[in-house]
Amino acid sequence: MKVAMAQQNYHIGNFDANFEKICQGIKAAKEQGADIVVFGELAVCGYPPRDFLEFRDFIQRSEQVIEQLKAVSEGIAIVVGAPTINPVIEGKDLFNSAYFIADGEVVHIAHKALLPTYDIFDEYRYFEPASEFKVLEYKGKRIALTVCEDIWNIGNENPLYTICPMDEMVAQEPDFMLNLSASPFDYKHAVDRIDVLRANVERYGIPIFYVNNVGAQTEVIFDGGSIVMNDAGMVVDELPYFEEMVRTYELAPLMGSAGVVAKDHEQPKEKMDLIYRALLLGIRDYFGKLGFTKAILGLSGGVDSALTLVLAAHALGAENVRAVMMPTEFSSDHSVSDSVKLVENLGCLSDIIPIQNTFQSFRDMLSKQFEGTAFNVTEENMQARVRATCLMALSNKFGYILLNTSNKSEAAVGYGTLYGDMCGGLSVIGDLYKMEVYALCDYINRDAEIIPKHILTKAPSAELRPNQKDSDSLPEYAQLDEVLFQYIENRKGPKEIIEMGFDKALVDRTLRLVNMSEYKRYQTPPMLRVSSKAFGMGRRMPIVGKYLL
């Protein structure tokens, strides 16, 4: 028996395009001689469909695609994810299901039992958990078919669920496991994934085909990395990250492989390389799926906008990216000269638009109201908002998407201007702490100096008043980032962080800044998620709370 894994990039709600893509996968699998072709979780409608699932019309369109797939299932079995309607009136109206379609019929449907409802996931919002688990038989082989999370409640000290679907199925003596996933990227996730697959293989003693979606869905990036693991727990193949791929495998060699000398065939997993490729895919899919081709951004001379510009140019082509320098009286000479050098290195479009007159025009307009007040953060924010208005005007006039250039450290502590530098359709590096921004710049410069060295060595500054430095208002980033990581990613409280050896004043100040900035983050653009805990859908905080404040 031959099994094809089809790792594909779907478009949420675009049923025609998804059907077309699945058909291409079927064609490729047939050409490779596959008996079964396996697609990802909710492939038919795209993942995550969110509240579109509440529309009966949306579900009906999905069901129509299943009908269309029945018609193309001659000569190959199609395993594909789609929602199904729960026939029982009690409970949620839908299941998150894997269809097994062969010879024009749906021969089996497996419903998902473990419904991830944490971080970016909301599955119990829509789906009833499965309570029955049945192995299916096809061409003499017994198959344990599961959806994503159903194989994840294993091998961790604090399991999230009280059951383990494969424990129920193993008594039915399956020959192998098929798992349909939509498991999003973070820079550590590919390692966790192999650990979990190996824990399953070791517990159940059979091989697994794990098929993951690829492609970015707004902020969430699916990395692919689909895996075939033999019954000895070796990675026989791991499909490339961030690419579509259909590849077929013989089942027989995966079984009885204990003692067979083999080596793991894993993809490299270097953090900055993964993040770089994830962000390129994130940008490309955001633009492509919305039907845009061109990006604009403000280039300040600092490291954040420089990195964002490089990523945009690499993702979209330098000819599709326009960088705008908008100096004021507070801008250093090098803010423009460093930027110009970067623009030349990349070959993208650029403008220099001094905003001093318009900034002054606002000050004149408000001179009566502001009489007797000193220049302060108000005028600093005003400059950022003049820049945003300028960028949005170019965006509106010429059809660019404005890219936001804020980093995670800034977003965390609220060091940014709402409706100013916090604007944009997409935040490219909003899930990278400042020190990670530097590390990614070093990665980009590994072979040649794309980002001028001076951008990487000068002290960070917003340049919104004379001689301003970030360090006037914020702790040093090397320290700040570590405290933020403990609070954001690890959900450690103040006492726990202080016990790790961090200064109490630093910790209290940092956590307070994070919690008092929720109102700002509520209105920020979606941020491409590359860590296990990004701001946005995956981190939901009250605005009017008073905790650590």
| Helices 477-488 and 504-516: angle between axes, nearest 10 degrees | 60
Q: To the nearest 5 percent, what fractions of the chain are helix, strand and coil?
A: 40, 20, 40
Per DSSP, the residues of 138-157 read: ETTEEEEEEEGGGG-SSS-S
Task: Choose, by CB under 8 A, the member of 55, 85, 167, 472 that binds a copy of itself.
Answer: 55
Measure the CA–CA gap between 97 and 84, rounded to whole angstroms: 6
Q: Three-class SS string for 423-480? A: CCCEECCCCCCHHHHHHHHHHHCCCCCCCCHHHHHCCCCCCCCCCCCHHHHCCCHHHH
DSSP SS3 for 68: helix
Task: Choose, by CB under 8 A, the member of 192, 244, 273, 496 that binds a copy of itself.
Answer: 496
Measure the CA–CA gap between 472 and 150, rounded to whole angstroms: 49
Q: How far is CA 83 from CA 111, 118, 231, 265, in A?
A: 9, 20, 30, 33
* 164 included as an active-site residue: no
Site residues (CB under 8 A) for a copy of itself, limited to 10-29: 11-14, 17
Stretch that binds a copy of itself, among 103-111, 202-210, 215-223, 439-447 (CB under 8 A): 215-223
Stretch that binds a copy of itself, among 77-85, 100-108, 213-221, 271-279 (CB under 8 A): 213-221
Measure the CA–CA gap between 58 and 39, rounded to whole angstroms: 20
For residue 30, the Cα-to-chain-centroid distance in whole angstroms is 31
Site residues (CB under 8 A) for a copy of itself, limited to 242-261: none
- Fill in the DSSP letter of residue 491: -
Task: Choose, by CB under 8 A, the member of 172, 361, 471, 473 that binds a copy of itself.
Answer: 361
Q: Min. distance of Cβ 19 from a copy of itself in angstroms?
A: 13
- Fill in the DSSP letter of residue 251: S
Q: Which is nearer to a copy of itself, 340 or 548 (CB)?
A: 548
Q: Which is nearer to a copy of itself, 59 or 254 (CB)?
A: 59
What 61-64 contacts at long range (C-beta under 8 Å, 24+ apart), as own/partner pairs, is: 61/15, 62/15, 64/15
Stretch that binds a copy of itself, among 96-104, 230-238, 471-479, 520-528 (CB under 8 A): 520-528
Stretch that binds a copy of itself, among 75-83, 170-178, 199-207, 419-427 (CB under 8 A): 419-427
Q: Which is nearer to a copy of itself, 159 or 256 (CB)?
A: 159
Residue 64 makes contact with a copy of itself by CB under 8 A:
no
* 41 included as an active-site residue: yes
Q: Min. distance of Cβ 463 from a copy of itself in angstroms?
A: 18
Per DSSP, the residues of 94-130 read: EEEEEEEEETTEEEEEEE--S---STT--GGGTBPPP
Residue 333 makes contact with a copy of itself by CB under 8 A:
no
Task: Choose, by CB under 8 A, the member of 272, 394, 456, 498 that binds a copy of itself.
Answer: 394
Query: From the candidates 148, 164, 348, 441, which is the catalytic residue?
Result: 148
Measure the CA–CA gap between 519 and 205, rounded to whole angstroms: 50
Q: Which is nearer to a copy of itself, 207 or 430 (CB)?
A: 430
Q: Min. distance of Cβ 473 from a copy of itself in angstroms?
A: 15
Site residues (CB under 8 A) for a copy of itself, limited to 114-173: 115, 117-118, 122, 124-125, 157-162
Ramachandran area for residue 139 (φ above 0: left; ψ -120 to 50: alpha; else beta): left
Site residues (CB under 8 A) for a copy of itself, limited to 286-325: 286, 289-290
Q: Which is nearer to a copy of itself, 240 or 288 (CB)?
A: 288
Return the closest-CA partner of residue 295 out of 319, 278, 271, 276. 319
Task: Choose, by CB under 8 A, the member of 33, 91, 205, 256 that binds a copy of itself.
Answer: 91
Stretch that binds a copy of itself, among 234-242, 271-279, 311-319, 492-500 (CB under 8 A): 492-500
Q: Min. distance of Cβ 485 from a copy of itself in angstroms?
A: 15
Q: Min. distance of Cβ 217 from a copy of itself in angstroms?
A: 6
363-376: b (≥16 Cβ within 10 Å) or e: eeeeeeeeeeeeee
Stretch that binds a copy of itself, among 67-75, 224-232, 311-319, 350-358 (CB under 8 A): 350-358
Q: Min. distance of Cβ 61 from a copy of itself in angstroms?
A: 8
DSSP SS3 for 527: strand
Task: Choose, by CB under 8 A, the member of 396, 446, 453, 471 that binds a copy of itself.
Answer: 396
469-496: b (≥16 Cβ within 10 Å) or e: ebeeebbebebbbbbbbbbbeeebebee
Task: Choose, by CB under 8 A, the member of 261, 333, 376, 501 that binds a copy of itself.
Answer: 376
* 23 included as an active-site residue: no
Q: Which is nearer to a copy of itself, 75 or 545 (CB)?
A: 545
Q: Min. distance of Cβ 307 from a copy of itself in angstroms?
A: 22
Amino acid in position 377: V
Residue 500 makes contact with a copy of itself by CB under 8 A:
no
Residue 85 makes contact with a copy of itself by CB under 8 A:
no
Q: How far is CA 451 from CA 107, 305, 492, in A?
A: 56, 11, 35
Return the closest-CA partner of residue 524 out of 434, 400, 420. 420
Stretch that binds a copy of itself, among 196-204, 407-415, 461-469, 516-524 (CB under 8 A): 516-524
Residue 467 makes contact with a copy of itself by CB under 8 A:
no
Q: Are strands 176-181 and 105-111 parallel, antiparallel or unpaired?
A: unpaired
Residue 263 makes contact with a copy of itself by CB under 8 A:
no
Residues 6+ apart with CB under 8 A from 1: 35, 36, 139, 141, 250, 251, 252
Q: Min. distance of Cβ 288 from a copy of itself in angstroms?
A: 9
Q: Which helix (H) or strand (E) holds 250?
A: strand 245-250
Query: From the candidates 21, 112, 294, 341, which is the catalytic residue?
Result: 112
Q: Min. distance of Cβ 365 from a copy of itself in angstroms?
A: 5
Q: What are the catalytic residues?
A: 41, 112, 148
